[in-house]
Chain A
Amino acid sequence: MTVRYGARLALDDLSTSIPCGTSTAIVGPNGAGKSTLLRAILGWHSIENGGDIRIGDAHAHHQLPRLAYLPQRHAVDWDFPITVRAVVAQGRYPALLPWQRFRASDHAAIDRALDELGIVDLADRQIRMLSGGQQQRVFLARALAQGADIFLLDEPFTGLDLFATEELTHILRSWVAQGRTVLAAVHDLPLARAHFTHALLLNTRLVAAGPIATVLTEANINTAFRGGRCVHDNPLRRVSTTQFPE
C-alpha cells in the first residue's frame, strides 16, 4: 500500500504478511511510517494502490472486527471527565447500536477485562489519577472488552518507567502465549529484540520482515536508519524511552 500526506510519501508501496499468534515490532527511524502503517491497517488513511497487508491468512481489511487499536499516550486527553470503567466500556460500543442498552454479556465482558488487567479497584477513578502503567492497562482492557484478538499498539512503551515497561512486556507475552496477535510500533531496538518474536523494519518502504533475529541485523538496520533521510548516531544504543518521544 502507498500512503501520502499531501506531497510527502509516508508509506511507499508496502506489502507484507503478519503471522497470527506472534508479536511483531514495527521498527524504523522517526518518520519511517510506523504509526501510519498501523492507522492505514485500521482504514484511517486513504490508501493508494490497495496494497496487500495480510494478518494471518486474511487481508487486514477483512480482520477489522478482530482488531483493537491503542492510541499513543500523548494522543489521549487525560483530563477528560471519564472514569476507568467508562473507557473500558467503550470497547462494547461497536457491538451495539448507538442507543442500545448494555446487555448482561456486555457488563460481563467489561468486568472480565478489568479483572484480567488487575484494575478492578481503580474502576471508578478518573483516568488522570493513575500511574502511567495503569493508564496503559485501561486501554489494553478496552481492547479486550472489544473481544479483539489482534492488537495494534502505537508506541506503547513511550513514557513508561522501567517497572511499567516490564509489566507491559509481561502482559503482551502472555497474550501471545494465548494465541493472540500483537503488532506494535516500537522505536527502542533493544526492547524490540528482547520481547518480540517478529519485526517489520520500515523506512517509508519495507526494508525487511520476518523473525526478529533475521530482521534486526546490522546490515538491515544500516539500510533503514542511514539509507534514508533520517540519520541516527547509533540506533543500537540503548535509549531510555522517556527521553525519546516520537
Chain B
Amino acid sequence: MNFHDLFVEPFTFEFMRRGLLSAVLLSLSGGLLGCILVLRRLALMGDALSHSLLPGVALAYAFFGPSTLALFVGALLAGLLTATGSALLSRLTRVKEDAAFGSLFIIFFALGVAVVSTLRSRIDLMHFLFGNILGVSGTDLQLAGLVSATTLAVFVVFYRPILLETFDPIFLRATGGRGGLVHIGILCLTVLNLIAALQAMGIVLSLGLFLLPAVTAYLWCDRLSRMLLLSVLLALAGSVLGILASYHLGLASGASIVLSLGVFFLFSAAFSPRYGFGALVLQKLRAGKGVLHDAGQP
C-alpha cells in the first residue's frame, strides 16, 4: 500500500471530501471552545448538554424529515431548555446546579431515545447517537462553515473578555465587563458547535472532538494562546487521522476520530515532560520516594 492508496484515494470520493471538510471546519472552532470548557471545568456539563439535544433532534426529524434547518432549531430549543431549566431548578429548589443538570439531561436523553424508538428503523437511532460521515450534506457543510467562522470571529474579537471570564470572573465584572454575557455566549457557541457536529460525529461523540484536543494541549502549554493553537492543530490532526482510519479499517467515523484524539491524550498524559505522570514518576524515583504513596500531593 503506497502513499496514494493511503492518503489520496479515500478522498476521490465526494462523501469523503465532505466528511473531511466538515471535520476540519469543526476542528477549528471545537478546538478553541474545548479549551474554555476544560479551563472552566465545564467538561462534564458540555457532555450533559450534548446528550440533551437528542429529543429536539428526534422530534424535528419525526416531523420534518432530515432537514438541516429543522434539526438545528430542534436541537437549539432542547439545549436552551436544558440550560435554563437546570438554572431555574437550582435556584428555585434545594437541588444544586450539578444535580439539576444531571437529572434534567438524562430525562431529556431518555425522551429523545423514546421518540427515536417510535421512528421507522433502528438505523436512525445509531445515526443520531454516533453520526454518519456518509450523511454530511451540502447544507450541513454550510452550517458547519457558518458556525466555525462565527466561533473563530468571536474568539478573535473577544479574546480578552473570554480569557478574563475563564481566569478571574470577579475581576472582569469589577472592571465593568459583561461577564454574564460572555458566559451565555460561550454556552450558545457550544450548543451551536455540537449541533453542527451532529451529522458527522453524532450526539454522544461530538464533544470528544472539542474536549480531547483541549485537555491534551492543557498537558503541554503554559500560555493560553499556545494552548488554543495546539488544541486546534491536534483537533485537525485527529480528524484527518480518524477519517482515514475509518475509511481503511471500516470503522464508524465519529468513533475513529475520537479514538485518534484519545491516543494523543493518553500519550500526553504519560509523557508530557512537566505535567504527565511519567514526569511525576521520574521525579519521585530521583527523590527516592514511593510514587503512589503521595501521588497527587503538590
A residues contacting B by CB (< 8 A) are: 39, 42-44, 64, 67, 69, 71, 75-77, 80-83, 86-87, 90, 93-94, 96, 98-99, 126, 142, 146
B88 to chain A, nearest CB (A): 14
Contact yes or no, B157 A98, CB < 8 A: yes
Contact yes or no, B157 A90, CB < 8 A: no
User: Known interface pairs A80-B39, A81-B221, A90-B168. Does A69 touch B174 (Cβ–Cβ under 8 Å)?
Assistant: yes
Contact yes or no, B173 A77, CB < 8 A: no
Name which of B170, B177, B224, B226 has the most chain A CB atoms within 10 A of its CB.
Answer: B170
B292 close to chain A: CB less than 8 A: no
Cα(A142)–Cα(B173), bound, Å: 15
Near A by CB (< 8 A), chain B positions 165-193 give 166-168, 170-171, 173-177
B158 close to chain A: CB less than 8 A: yes
Contact yes or no, B174 A43, CB < 8 A: yes
Contact yes or no, B170 A146, CB < 8 A: no
Chain A positions within 8 Å of B166 at CB level: 80
Interface size on B, residues (CB 8 A): 26
- Give A99's nearest chain B residue, CB to CB: B157
B227 close to chain A: CB less than 8 A: yes
Q: Which 3 A-B pairs have the closest CB atoms?
A: A94-B175, A126-B222, A42-B174
13 contacting pairs across A/B (C-beta < 8 A)? A39-B170, A42-B174, A76-B168, A77-B167, A80-B39, A80-B166, A81-B221, A81-B224, A90-B160, A93-B160, A96-B160, A98-B157, A99-B159
B164 close to chain A: CB less than 8 A: yes
B residues contacting A by CB (< 8 A) are: 39, 156-161, 163-164, 166-168, 170-171, 173-177, 218, 221-224, 226-227
Chain A positions within 8 Å of B223 at CB level: 81-83, 86
Contact yes or no, A83 B156, CB < 8 A: no
Cα(A17)–Cα(B36), bound, Å: 40
Cα(A99)–Cα(B157), bound, Å: 5
A39 to chain B, nearest CB (A): 7
A64 to chain B, nearest CB (A): 7
Contact yes or no, B157 A81, CB < 8 A: no
Contact yes or no, B218 A81, CB < 8 A: yes
Contact yes or no, A42 B159, CB < 8 A: no
A93-B164, A93-B175, A98-B161 are known contacts; what are 4 more A-B pairs with Cβ within 8 Å?
A: A75-B170, A81-B218, A90-B163, A98-B157
Contact yes or no, B170 A44, CB < 8 A: yes
**Secondary structure of the B side of the interface?**
helix
Cα(A71)–Cα(B171), bound, Å: 8
B172 to chain A, nearest CB (A): 8
Contact yes or no, B222 A81, CB < 8 A: yes
B234 to chain A, nearest CB (A): 15
User: Known interface pairs A77-B39, A77-B167, A81-B218. Does A43 touch B173 (Cβ–Cβ under 8 Å)?
Assistant: yes
Name which of A43, A64, A67, A90 has the most chain B CB atoms within 10 A of its CB.
Answer: A90
Contact yes or no, B158 A98, CB < 8 A: yes
A4 to chain B, nearest CB (A): 13
Contact yes or no, A44 B176, CB < 8 A: no
A109 to chain B, nearest CB (A): 15
Contact yes or no, B159 A98, CB < 8 A: yes
User: Known interface pairs A71-B168, A71-B170, A99-B157. Does A82 touch B224 (Cβ–Cβ under 8 Å)?
Assistant: yes
Of the residues B164, B171, B175, B226, contact of A81 by C-beta under 8 Å: B226
Cα(A64)–Cα(B171), bound, Å: 12
Chain B positions within 8 Å of A67 at CB level: 174
Chain B positions within 8 Å of A43 at CB level: 173-174
Chain B positions within 8 Å of A81 at CB level: 39, 218, 221-224, 226-227
- Give A75's nearest chain B residue, CB to CB: B170
Cα(A126)–Cα(B222), bound, Å: 6
Chain B positions within 8 Å of A64 at CB level: 174, 176
Contact yes or no, B176 A94, CB < 8 A: yes
- Give A154's nearest chain B residue, CB to CB: B170
A142 to chain B, nearest CB (A): 8
